[in-house]
Amino acid sequence: MAKLEEALSPRWEPDRWRGRRWRSGAASGPSLQVRFGHLRRLPGDYQGERHIEITHCLPDQKGQKWVEFSEVPGPPPNPAPQAPGLARYLDVVFVPPKPSATMPAPATQLAHLPDTRADGDLP
pLDDT digits (tens, 9 = 90+) for 68-119: 999 999 999 888 787 888 888 999 999 988 776 565 555 555 555 555 555 5
Is 42 among the domain residues? yes
pLDDT band at 39 (very low <50, low <70, confident <90, very high): very high
* Phi, then psi, of 68 in degrees rounded to 5: -115, 125
Which whole number is the average pLDDT over 64-70? Answer: 95
pTM: 0.57
Which whole number is the average pLDDT over 18-31? Answer: 61
| Beta pairing, strands 64-73 & 88-94 | unpaired
- Number of independent structural domains in the chain: 1
Domain extent, residue 47, equals 31-77+86-95
* Phi, then psi, of 53 in degrees rounded to 5: -130, 155
Is 104 among the domain residues? no
First to last CA, the chain: 47
| Beta pairing, strands 64-73 & 50-61 | antiparallel
Instruction: Evaluate whether 35 touches 90 at the Cβ level (below 8 Å).
Output: yes
How big is the CA angle at 91 (ends 11 and 82), to the nearest 5 degrees? 65
Is 62 among the domain residues? yes
